[in-house]
Amino acid sequence: MKLRCCLPLIAAAVMIAPSHGAEEGSRPQALDGPRVVALALENHPRLRGQRERLTEFRALRGQALSRALPQVDAGVSTVRSRDPGLLNSPNFSSLAESGGTMPGFDPSFLQPIAVTLYDYRLNLEQTIYAFGRIGAAVRAAETREEQILLEIHAAEIETAQAAITALYDLALAEARLDVLAAERAAREKQVEQARDFLEIGTGTRLAWLQARSALAALRPREIAARGDVDVARVRLNEALGRSALEPVRTSGTELTTAELPVLPSLERLLAATDRRPDLAALRTERAALDQEHRVWRAGLLPDLKFSGSWGISTVFTEELANTDFAAWNAGVFLEWNLFDGRQTRHKLEEIRSQQRQNEWSEKTRHGEIERDLARAVANYHRARMAASAAEESVSLAEETLRVAEANHAWGAATTLDLLLGHQNLRTARFERLTAVHDALVALAEIHALVGRLPFQPLLEEASR
């Protein structure tokens, strides 16, 4: 169903009226629905923060994978030391007094002296087998990355819904201002007619005062409507992640050319909610927790590692390149933490508890989505029918006012008839605009509830 509107638009007047805090001379940027969604998805700081989490979890995957790679480190040292340990031996004094046990032995050789030791070496350590711990850690990190991607998509849908709803709110506020402007033009013309009739003696002062009073009564409504426009602009800028004072306006056609399609059945929409990214993220989180459970369970098993080192240690700087002073070692080691105070087992219990909590969260979210979707679909149907009924009401009100104005020109209708005609037309136009706005807001919510961005087909098969 396509709704057409013949309302005279005064977008230029809205642009001339400055928003509170907008810089003088700044020109509001006209935005339509697709542009608003694109800006929100591109610039909103919340989404940028969410996307940065990908870098974090990709780094975690690299950390897990690093355990399967060799660990190599090198060290260089220069140490000056003097060790009097032999002097503290209880037998050193006996050895010195006896002159030593070997001929020609001089005990003074055993006196400590300061020595500088030069040392450099290369160490290598490689895990040979970790009983699946490394592979499970890598898979857990990859699964967490998939979870983050789904959560980012869920945040994009939520952000897009907030942005398009804010645009519809601004469009409604601007359209109400346009309706009031059209009515002001008509009432000003009515005041002129009443004055002319009064001057030529065919009208009354009462009719002229009634026309002026009706015109003055529009002023409070216009002030309130402009305030609503300013507030709606702030909310739209907030939804776009921009400064609240950024000048902005709608394209002016969101409510007047809106398509209100027939929805698929509620059963099909409910079936589509299972593919929502936030629900998929919960299921992916459970898979990640299962991999983390395997990592910790593997901690109860031993690690088989290779370790080796090579280096030169000497007190002579000229021998630093002499391989006769080289020292090396290599070996395979089995390390098994036989008891860690039950820390690992408690961690395994914690992970299983998190999985059960995750399952209950998914079931709870399913119930909330079904409730919200049923409510949104009912709101959409009601608003769509109200918009259709309001379309007919506007046509009748316009024709009634046209007849009243024609009769008034010939003196066959009173000023009160004109005022009543204007009031009925304004009410009908407001009801139509409000109904279209409510339908579009409900439709945006339905898109979000089935996990789709605004303007995408509600069901995936519809896009094929």
For 283-318, the pLDDT digits (tens) are 999 999 999 999 888 888 888 999 999 999 998 888
Q: Within a domain: residue 197?
A: yes
Burial class of residue 156 (count of CB atoms within 10 Å of its CB; 0-12, 13-18, 19+):
buried
Q: What are phi and psi of 331, to 5 degrees?
A: -170, 160
Name the average pLDDT for the chain. Answer: 84
Q: What is the pLDDT of residue 96?
A: 60
Q: What is the pLDDT of residue 416?
A: 67
pLDDT digits (tens, 9 = 90+) for 40-93: 999 899 898 888 888 888 888 888 888 888 999 999 999 999 888 777 777 666
Give how many domains the chain has, as a whole number.
1
Say if residues 193 and 210 touch (Cβ distance below 8 Å).
no
Structural domain of 49: 30-69+137-301+342-463
Burial class of residue 269 (count of CB atoms within 10 Å of its CB; 0-12, 13-18, 19+):
buried
Q: Look at 99-103, 117-121, 337-341, 360-364 and tell me which has the smallest mean pLDDT.
A: 99-103
Q: Looking at per-residue confidence, does 37 or 14 come out higher?
A: 37
At 200, the amino acid letter reads I
Mean local confidence (pLDDT), 7-28: 39
Q: Look at 31-35, 128-132, 216-220 and tell me which has the smallest mean pLDDT.
A: 128-132
The pLDDT-based confidence of 408 (bands split at 50, 70, 90) is low
pLDDT digits (tens, 9 = 90+) for 413-448: 766 677 778 778 877 888 888 999 999 999 999 999
Within a 10 A sphere around the Cβ of 283, how many other Cβ atoms? Answer: 14
Q: What are the contacts of 39-43 at 24+ separation with CB within 8 A?
A: 39/163, 39/240, 39/242, 40/159, 40/160, 40/162, 40/163, 40/239, 40/240, 40/241, 41/156, 41/159, 41/160, 43/240, 43/241, 43/242
Give the tokens for residue 435.
């109904």
Q: What is the pLDDT of residue 237?
A: 93
- Helix, coil or strand: residue 328: strand
Q: What is the pLDDT of residue 412?
A: 67
Q: Look at 29-33, 74-78, 144-148, 275-279 and tell me which has the smallest mean pLDDT.
A: 29-33
Q: Within a domain: residue 2?
A: no
Q: Within a domain: residue 132?
A: no
Angle, helix 133-200 to helix 415-449, in steps of 10 degrees: 170
Q: Within a domain: residue 209?
A: yes
145-154, 180-189, 214-223 — most confident range: 145-154
The pLDDT-based confidence of 107 (bands split at 50, 70, 90) is low
The pLDDT-based confidence of 341 (bands split at 50, 70, 90) is confident
Q: What are phi and psi of 121, to 5 degrees?
A: -155, 160
Buried b (16+ CB within 10 A) or exposed e, 293-323: bbbbbbbeeebebeeebebbbbeeeeeeeee
Q: What are phi and psi of 227, to 5 degrees?
A: -65, -40
At 237, the amino acid letter reads N
Q: What is the pLDDT of residue 180?
A: 86
Q: Within a domain: residue 390?
A: yes
The pLDDT of residue 333 is above 70: yes
Nearest by Cα to 408 from 197, 154, 118, 94? 197
Angle, helix 133-200 to helix 277-298, in steps of 10 degrees: 160
Q: What is the pLDDT of residue 1?
A: 42
CB proximity list for 210: less than 8 A, separation 6 or greater: 194, 415, 416, 419
pLDDT digits (tens, 9 = 90+) for 154-201: 999 999 999 999 999 999 999 888 888 888 887 888 788 778 878 887
The pLDDT-based confidence of 136 (bands split at 50, 70, 90) is confident
Q: Within a domain: residue 271?
A: yes
Q: What is the pLDDT of residue 99?
A: 52
The pLDDT of residue 353 is above 90: yes
The pLDDT of residue 27 is above 70: no
Q: Within a domain: residue 45?
A: yes
Q: What are phi and psi of 25, to 5 degrees?
A: 90, -10
Tell me the CATH number at 434: 1.20.1600.10
The pLDDT of residue 223 is above 70: yes
Nearest by Cα to 291 from 130, 144, 129? 144
Q: What are the contacts of 6-12 at 24+ separation with CB within 8 A?
A: 6/398, 7/175, 7/178, 7/179, 7/182, 7/256, 7/429, 8/178, 8/181, 8/182, 8/185, 9/178, 9/252, 10/177, 10/178, 10/181, 10/182, 11/174, 11/178, 11/249, 11/252
Q: Give the CA distances from residue 392 to residues 349, 360, 404, 426, in Å, rounded to whole numbers and listed in that order.
A: 65, 49, 18, 14
Q: Look at 202-211, 299-308, 455-464 and tell me which has the smallest mean pLDDT.
A: 455-464
Q: Within a domain: residue 277?
A: yes
The pLDDT-based confidence of 22 (bands split at 50, 70, 90) is very low
